[in-house]
Structure 1
Amino acid sequence: MSKPVIRTLLPMACDGVGPSFTCLNILSGAVRAGYDVELFVNRRRLNWLDIPTRAAFPGPLSWLPYKMIESKATSILEKQFMSAIKPGDIAYLWPAVSLEMHKALYEKKIPVVLEGINTRMASAKRILDTAYLEAGLTPSHSITDERIAEEEEKYKYTSAIFAPNRNVELALEDAPSNLKILPASYGVNTKIPVPEPTYEDKDALTFMFCGYACIRKGVHLLLDAWRDMPPPHKLLLVGDVEPALMEKYRDVLESDQVEMIGFVNDVHEWFAKSDVFIFPSLEEGGPQVTYEAALHGLPIIASPMGSGRLHERADTMIVVEPRDAKALFEAMQEMLSVSTRARLGQNAKKEANYFDWDRVGARRASMLLELF
């Protein structure tokens, strides 16, 4: 009997950023471990990682403006996928696959596995609506009742879902009984060269946040707590800032103790310049920046959402409820101790190896073959 093929449907531009970056790394780990994988994408402009791939718009067609081809490409791709999939295969679906596709695979008796890149939408909307309300701001997110209803309907035709965060699991506890929750994680490329961390007794520490600095990531809570942080400590915001926060927290953001770096292509140079990584996210799937910080040996302060699976490894970070401004401030104060920073940073760096993409991809593929 032939081994099942994990046929993966990613109806988006596969250019090595965003979800496609994550998907490519997971599948690469599975391929290197000897599992049979095939990837279906709208387009793929790069030959990054050796993964068998079919594109709806291949070759020179991939250079057409994406908005021009997106809808047509998705339609073509889903037809290609249905023609290729056969009994014994596993359909591994990423977000944006149509509800009709879920139903068709279910009727064909093909096991469907979803990727839970974010928290279940019904849960995420409650979290975000509450956060914006508490901040005195109008909700600014794209989760609608219609999108929630479609996601819940998709669950009915799904065999399993990867949950890259304990909180993703918890949000799915009352999902349909047919939906098996597969505890998983995202990862980090441990093979890239990074400088050896040093832990010095300094008068001025650099705390770093990385990502889109927005309500969803809890940055407003970080800025509230940062008001009490005495100079000369500095906060780096590596990533763009949500306009509503830029207005509401202008006094903090434009102070001498905060540096807004903006969007960068290479975050690793900023990890290397920092002493502490802080990630107070309120809603998250699998926080890859947390694993990247660990690779650099940075001591980490994170929310339960922002901690990913790393906090399940012993003594790797301080986990704090970010809505508790006092607790968040006290966690930052704890990091002033060089021994605390060294202990947490060294432990996090050691445990980062468990989250190497090759290991992550191999674990996931193994789980699927054991399940089906």
Structure 2
Amino acid sequence: MADRDFNVAIITPRSHWLLPSVEVIEVLPGWARYMPYRWVQSHAKRGIEQAFLACIDRSQSPRSAAAYLWPDASVETLRELKRRDISVFREQFNCHTGTAKRILDHAYQRLGVPPAHGITDETVDRETQISEAVDRIFCPSPLVEASLLENGVPSHKMLETTYGWDPARLSGCRKRIPSGEGITAIFVGAICVRKGAHLLLDYWARSGVKGRLVLAGEMEPIIKEKCADLLSRSDVIVLDYVQDVGSLYRSADIFVFPSLEEGSPLVMYEACGSGLAIVTTGMGAGRIVRHGCEGFVLDPYDAPGWIAALRLLAEDVGCRRTMSSAAVERSQQFIWNAVAHRRRQQVMDCLGYDG
């Protein structure tokens, strides 16, 4: 978001990128910046919020400054910012934890296992306190907005936004998965209950589609346990973290993502930018995928709908190509520079500046 008339300072434990137009303040000392983060996490947490407040104090016009907080910022720091009359913007990168807990409790109950999402009543209460105190909340999808409304956050605090993608990150021509008979459907992300991996494996098996389902990401143990038979199928390929994710997108025909709870997953922007027809949920679609245009947006538990969509995209090359072209065209609106420009203007509007 940095611009000639919009200075940006980032306070972070460490940075691995050069950002010439931004002031980057690394909290960790030099000796700790290249160590595994779990070893130095407590050291970073102790210093980052103090450094943040000090940076606000050093700004030329503290009263015209704005604080942009990631969700794990403490209530104490937020209260201190408000005491100093600083406008506070918060990033709501997933649904409100109250909504997420409700959705995920139900999902684990359907599987007949105890919830493993880690969201407690105390977590929800903390988020409610923070939502009450901040001035504005960036909401990357309609369902994120709905989750805030469900938990009592007034609509006037919400800023409609999106995330984006970087074409350079997907550059290249190599394919990770060799071409084969039938279609290649890919899923990228944590292979977990929250992202509906168990549902996807079931729908793929029941569809009878000829091809391969490729899942790339870290797998939750309950998925490995409950879906062992489906994972052992010859037409299912499981990969760990993929460094060159562009090579995976280039290997695919469609992108499948039955997420139960999200904000606006970055992989969706990248899949559209890579020209893949999409099958996802409202949580996965965010503001980029429209039902019947770039793909199909379905209820995660709509088994007949998912199976029909998989079969249609497998059999109808014309439909696949039409949705592919629409996805590429749509994705151009969400390249990071364009997203950043819109966000910068939103912040300036909220602060009362013309720009």
Q: TM-score, normalised by structure 2?
A: 0.90
Greater CA drift, 48-57 or 142-151: 48-57
Q: Larger % of helix: which?
A: 2
Maintained 8 Å contact 1:320/1:331 = no
Aligned partner (choices 316, 335, 343) of residue 364 of structure 1: 343
Greater CA drift, 204-213 or 42-51: 42-51
Maintained 8 Å contact 1:194/1:296 = no
Maintained 8 Å contact 2:207/2:308 = no
Distance 1:33 1:307 in 2: 34
Q: Does 1:308 align with 2:280?
A: no
Maintained 8 Å contact 2:89/2:136 = yes
State the superposition RMSD in angstroms: 2.2
Distance 1:49 1:221 in 2: 44
Q: Which residue of 2 aligns with 1:354?
A: 333
1:35 partner letter? F
Distance 1:278 1:149 in 2: 34
Q: Does 1:63 align with 2:41?
A: no
Q: Which residue of 2 aligns with 1:15?
A: none
Q: Which residue of 2 aligns with 1:185?
A: 162
Q: Answer 1 or 2: higher relative contact order, Cα 8 Å, separation at least 6.
A: 1
Q: Which residue of 2 aligns with 1:254?
A: 232
Q: Does 1:268 align with 2:259?
A: no
Distance 1:34 1:312 in 2: 35
Q: Does 1:284 align with 2:255?
A: no
Q: Which residue of 2 aligns with 1:23?
A: none
1:144 partner letter? T
Distance 1:148 1:179, change over 3 A: farther
| Aligned-pair CA distance for 1:76 | 2.0
Aligned partner (choices 10, 21, 25) of residue 54 of structure 1: 25
Q: Does 1:226 align with 2:201?
A: no
Q: Does 1:139 align with 2:101?
A: no
Q: Which residue of 2 aligns with 1:211?
A: 189
Greater CA drift, 64-73 or 182-191: 64-73
Distance 2:211 2:36 in 1: 45
Identity of aligned residues (%): 32
Distance 1:33 1:341, change over 3 A: farther
| Aligned-pair CA distance for 1:334 | 1.5
Q: Does 1:154 align with 2:130?
A: yes
2:13 aligned counterpart, secondary structure = strand
| CA offsets 1:22-67 (integer angstroms, 9 cap, x no match) | xxxxxxxx12686321101122244367531111124344235533
Aligned partner (choices 304, 307, 332) of residue 326 of structure 1: 304
| Aligned-pair CA distance for 1:269 | 0.6
Distance 1:105 1:334, change over 3 A: same
Q: TM-score, normalised by structure 1?
A: 0.86
1:183 partner letter? E
Aligned residues: 339
2:329 partner letter? K
2:123 aligned counterpart, secondary structure = helix
Q: Which residue of 2 aligns with 1:44?
A: 15
Q: Which residue of 2 aligns with 1:103?
A: 79
| Aligned-pair CA distance for 1:195 | 5.2
Runs of at least 4 residues off by over 6 Å: none
- Where do 1:18-97 residues align within 5 Å? 30-31=1-2, 35-47=6-18, 50-85=21-56, 86-97=62-73
2:167 aligned counterpart, secondary structure = coil
Q: Does 1:170 align with 2:146?
A: yes
Greater CA drift, 233-242 or 73-82: 73-82
**Structure 2: segments with no counterpart, 5+ residues:** 57-61
| CA offsets 1:114-156 (integer angstroms, 9 cap, x no match) | 0011110000000000011012222111211111111111112
| Aligned-pair CA distance for 1:194 | 5.2
Distance 2:20 2:309 in 1: 39
